[in-house]
Structure 1
């Protein structure tokens, strides 16, 4: 891909506040806001535009901010191949910094993983953080084999518990992705809901898109924001699809 991707949902741009290693998008509402941290996927070579700066992730972040949550887009080491341990360390460092932000509620955090960033969810979920209020996975790569030093799916599901999980799946997935996705479906975490996108391919949200594809993106955005903005102890209406 020679040009940076864009989101298929038309989005009014929102300028972020740049930080070391991430950008913070803030909603109009004042006070400490719940936050969604967007985690990009895997690139074998550095892309021409860092994921943090692409119209695609900037639009996702702006969409979330318009819904009343803060949003964060970070850069991590998966822009240089399968450097998962390093990327997990970077994600942990960014989460710590984000939770210390004056405008962020440190006890209301969602993390949204895309594509090849999916394996980074396992260490986060296995840790069982009390401040993790929602997890989202969009057409994720999920390990099925035991990897030395890396949590398993069982570890992740156990740590996740009943925390809401929003899983977006496409009908025409890439080879090698479907097995891990099916394993998660079979594990059936109690807080999991799915957004299924018929006729869609991996990366469907970069276009060209149909009305159904755009609706699926909006559905996932609403679900993630809804879980974060729901009163403590309440559960947002599940995503259907």
Structure 2
């Protein structure tokens, strides 16, 4: 029996069916709630790096459909973007292409904000896992329309210095969320961090560093004490479901201010 890939595992909360997406720009799906717009929007930003030829892109992952469904049910729009957080070969060796990924997210945000059914002044970025590296840009130079950054079990620094030379992946030094949040201080957007108690030690250490660096930033933490990385598909528990409902409710609240 073939094991189901993690990214195709079901979301841990039963949810209503999503409406048919509005396909935008070839890599962006927008889901709109019932009723007249324009609606505030959450842009769901996947992690990585992932293979470029994964087969099922993040827009098709059950976990992203689950988040989108909960948000739409709560009355806000949700969008899922496929971005290029891939490993690419360069003359200096394998490199995580966060530059292209960040550009894809920026184009997706502008596309969403221009849509007539979206309130372009009320946007939340919700980032997962390795996508957390991209948050450095938004912490360092916050767009006025960005209401909050949600970080779920994020990677917040490059692990490269901690790995043997033959295993290291290079990363543009611009993607340093720990440094970015420290420099932003109180000027940072609202940050909602979902922290899992069974995180991988290296990633957990980066999360601790980020929390320390964010001492002056508007940071909230939602803990999942028994959760592991990707708890939203791996831990089918009441604790997981409670944390997810709390986080979705907080996103809606921040968008409706």
The bucket for the TM-score relative to the shorter chain is 0.7 to 0.9
Provide the residue aligned with 1:239 in structure 2. none
Q: Deviations over 1:138-175 (max 9, x none)?
A: 00000178953445533344447253211000011023
Larger gyration radius, structure 1 or structure 2: 2
Provide the residue aligned with 1:12 in structure 2. 16
The gaps in structure 1 that reach 5 residues or longer are: 231-241
In 1, Cα distance between equivalents of 2:172 and 2:154: 17
Q: Deviations over 1:20-51 (max 9, x none)?
A: 21000101131211110000000442433111
In 2, Cα distance between equivalents of 1:63 and 1:35: 13
Q: 1:157 to 1:70 in 2, by over 3 A?
A: farther
Q: 1:51 to 1:217 in 2, by over 3 A?
A: same
Tell whether the 8 Å contact from 2:152 to 2:193 is kept in structure 1 after alignment: yes
In 2, Cα distance between equivalents of 1:55 and 1:32: 26
Provide the residue aligned with 1:172 in structure 2. 198
Task: Report which of the two has the higher share of helix.
Answer: 2
Which residue of 35, 42, 46 corresponds with 1:29? 35
1:129 corresponds to 2:152? no
Q: Deviations over 1:181-235 (max 9, x none)?
A: 11121122442111101111111110341111110111111111111012xxxxx
Q: 1:152 to 1:71 in 2, by over 3 A?
A: closer
Q: Deviations over 1:97-151 (max 9, x none)?
A: 1110101111111000000110011112211211110110000000178953445
1:183 corresponds to 2:209? yes
Tell whether the 8 Å contact from 1:133 to 1:228 is kept in structure 2 after alignment: yes
Tell whether the 8 Å contact from 2:228 to 2:235 is kept in structure 1 after alignment: no
The gaps in structure 2 that reach 5 residues or longer are: 89-95, 162-170
